[in-house]
Amino acid sequence: MAAGGGSQDRARRRGQTSARGSERARRTGGGAAQRPGGKPARARQRSGAAGAFKLSSTRRAAGLAMLVCVMALSVSVPLRTFLSQQAELDAQDRQQVALTREVAELEQRKAQLSDPAHIEAEARERLGYVRPGETPYTVHLPEETGAGPAEPPEPGAGDAPWYERLWQSVVGKDE
Q: Report the predicted TM-score, pTM, of the whole model to 2 decimal places.
A: 0.37
3-class secondary-structure state, position 131 = coil
Per-residue pLDDT tens digits for 108-140: 999 988 999 999 998 888 888 898 999 988 888
- For the ranges 17-21, 62-66, 82-86, 151-155, the lowest mean pLDDT is seen at 17-21
1: DSSP letter: -
At residue 40, φ and ψ (nearest 5 deg) are -70, 145
Q: Is the pLDDT of residue 21 over 90?
A: no
> Which residues have a Cβ under 8 Å from the Cβ of 29 and sit 6 or more positions away?
41, 42, 43, 44
Radius of gyration of the chain (CA): 54
Query: What was the pLDDT predicted at 82?
Result: 95
Distances in Å between the Cα of 67 and the Cα atoms of 53, 57, 79, 88, 165 are: 16, 15, 18, 32, 103
* Backbone φ and ψ of 34, nearest 5°: -120, 160
Burial 28-43, CB ≥16 within 10 A → b, else e = eeeeeeeeeeeeebee
